[in-house]
Amino acid sequence: MGNMAERGFDSTRGKNMLGFAVNREGVLVKSNRGLHGLAIAQYLGLPSVPVTVEAEHWK
């Protein structure tokens, strides 16, 4: 947490990248990957973090 507070989110340090899917309305939906990193980033109030889109719902 201290490292993230000082240097921002570093995707190479965590076990998993933050994973998301895109639903049929085009909204990002969080998957179960990278939950701890996301929680810490939210707690620290980071304005953005890199994510991986793992799935997309086709209309």
Q: Tell me if 9 sits within 8 A of 41, measured CB to CB.
A: yes
Q: What angle do CA 4, 40, 54 make, to 5 degrees?
A: 100
36 to 20, 24, 58: CA distances (angstroms)? 14, 26, 29
What does pTM read for this prediction?
0.69
Burial of residue 56 (number of CB atoms within 10 Å: 0-12, 13-18, 19+): exposed
pLDDT tens sequence across 1-55: 888 898 888 877 777 778 889 999 989 888 887 888 888 899 999 998 888 888 8
